[in-house]
């Protein structure tokens, strides 16, 4: 029986490279707003809660439409859906650079979220269909390496461009490449859904559930639900601080905007590179040996990151605070590959787009949709941004650790 990978052995790697590049641009765009927030607030006259509302608007466009793309991604050609999403988010980014008030900026960021929902929902399932189980987590880890690298570039380049050319230029810089890169997708071959499972086991892949019933069926998978609930808590924590991090360093530790964005971006890319890839390969080896490696990586990530984050927000010495902040970022990124692999592997192969869509919907509805706005509200109410971020992050990581430890116990029972 001939297979996709046997016919075109280079296509999986080429497809992974293109999708990872687009994912990098995706996360670069997401952090531009945080990187240019102080000059943007000053020009548009926005207070902290209004600034947080802009981030919330992006999340509304992102997570509210993800179930639609999850449904379509399990049924229609994925290449067209992804390409359309990349084009729409790039257009929204360009328009963001021309906003002249809160209302227009909110509308444009909703458009960005809409486009990114198509790409973020469908791409992981495409990758899962290219690589067999033994190699899948490593491939997923490379794809999600774009989170720290793209985010870091957003902070670094956003701060530098805003300093020299104004905050509007940052959105123009990020928007035009996406319009061009969308066309690369038409050079790729799309794998059949469940192709890696067929190649590895020669077993038929079950049909996707009819209609919207797929989302109800996801609720019947206990392992999947434990992954998602822990992920919601972690995303709430990360979303609140990632939005406010440069501003936190400026206000609390009196750093210059470019220096704050540069430090956070450099720390993000260095810790993300090492932790995402290192954690992914370590989890793969651990999983092969014990069958519980992915779950353990999730639990240990949150357990160790919580005290590191607490120290980062309470230490008065800037150098020590930087060390603690870098450590907490490293510890959070080690679970990037395993958590997304588990989302894909705890459901049937033909439900992967739906599983990713439900994950996106849940982690943003109950996670970082509210955390930037919540931190901004607390900051305005208390007049203390440091106290506000301290409430948002460590406690949520403890909640995440509880559910992921529960997942470990469940995985150990299944292995036995």
This prediction has a pTM of: 0.77
Note the pLDDT of residue 327.
93
At residue 137 the predicted structure's pLDDT band, cuts being 50, 70 and 90, is confident
**pLDDT tens string 340-381:** 999 998 888 888 888 988 998 899 889 887 888 888 888 888
Contact (CB, 8 A) for 59 and 68: no
Give the single-character DSSP code of 74: T
Average pLDDT rounded to a whole number, residues 84-102:
87
Helix (H) and strand (E) counts in the chain: 20, 0
Spatial distance between the Cα atoms of 36 and 246, rounded to a whole number of angstroms: 9
Question: Alpha-carbon distance 367 to 373, whole Å?
Answer: 11
| Residue 62 vs residues 55, 204, 271, 344: alpha-carbon distances, Å | 11, 33, 26, 20
Residue 202 reports pLDDT greater than 50: no
End-to-end CA distance of the chain: 34
- Using a 10 angstrom Cβ sphere, with 0-12 exposed, 13-18 middle and 19 or more buried, the burial of residue 160 is middle
Share of the chain above pLDDT 90, in %: 21
In sequence order, what DSSP letters do the residues of 17-44 get, joined into one string? HHHHHHHHHHHHHHHHHHHTHHHHHHHH
C-alpha 10/C-alpha 57 separation (Å) is 39
Instruction: Kindly indicate whether the domain formed by 10-189+212-415 is annotated with CATH number 3.40.50.10420.
Output: no
**Tokens 């949150």, residue?**
302
Sequence ranges of the domains in the chain: 10-189+212-415
């Amino acid at each position: 029986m001939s297979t996709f990978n046997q016919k075109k052995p280079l296509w999986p790697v080429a497809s992974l490279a293109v999708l990872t590049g687009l994912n990098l641009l995706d996360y670069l765009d997401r952090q531009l707003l945080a990187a240019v927030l102080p000059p943007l607030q000053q020009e548009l006259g926005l207070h902290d809660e209004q600034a947080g509302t802009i981030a919330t608007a992006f999340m509304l466009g992102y997570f509210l439409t993800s179930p639609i793309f999850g449904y379509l991604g399990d049924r229609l050609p994925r290449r067209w859906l992804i390409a359309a999403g990349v084009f729409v988010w790039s257009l929204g980014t360009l328009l963001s650079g021309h906003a002249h008030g809160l209302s227009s900026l909110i509308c444009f960021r909703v458009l960005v979220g809409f486009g990114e929902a198509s790409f973020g929902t469908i791409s992981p399932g495409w990758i899962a269909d290219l690589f067999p189980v033994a190699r899948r987590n490593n491939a997923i880890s490379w794809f999600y390496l774009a989170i720290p690298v793209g985010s870091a570039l957003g902070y670094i380049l956003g701060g530098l461009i805003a300093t020299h050319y104004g905050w509007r230029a940052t959105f123009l810089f990020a928007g035009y490449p996406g319009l061009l890169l969308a066309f690369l997708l038409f050079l790729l071959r799309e794998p059949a859904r469940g192709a890696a499972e067929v190649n590895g086991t020669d077993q038929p892949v079950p049909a996707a559930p009819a209609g919207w019933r797929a989302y109800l069926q996801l609720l019947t998978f206990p392992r999947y639900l434990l992954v998602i609930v822990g992920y919601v808590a972690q995303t709430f924590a990360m979303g609140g601080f990632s939005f406010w991090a440069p501003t936190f360093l400026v206000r609390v530790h009196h750093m210059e905007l470019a220096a704050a964005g540069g430090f956070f971006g450099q720390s993000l890319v260095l810790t993300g590179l090492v932790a995402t890839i290192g954690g992914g390969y370590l989890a793969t080896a651990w999983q092969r040996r014990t069958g519980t490696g992915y779950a353990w990586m999730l639990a240990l990530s949150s357990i160790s990151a919580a005290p590191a984050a607490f120290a980062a927000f309470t230490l008065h010495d800037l150098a020590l605070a930087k060390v603690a902040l870098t450590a907490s970022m490293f510890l959070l990124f080690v679970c990037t590959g395993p958590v997304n692999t588990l989302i894909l592997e705890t459901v049937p192969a033909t439900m992967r787009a739906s599983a990713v869509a439900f994950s996106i919907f849940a982690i943003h509805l109950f996670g970082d949709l509210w955390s930037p706005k919540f931190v901004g509200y607390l900051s305005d109410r208390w007049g203390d941004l440091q106290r506000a971020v301290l409430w948002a992050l460590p406690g949520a990581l403890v909640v995440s650790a509880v559910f992921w430890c529960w997942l470990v116990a469940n995985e150990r029972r299944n292995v036995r």
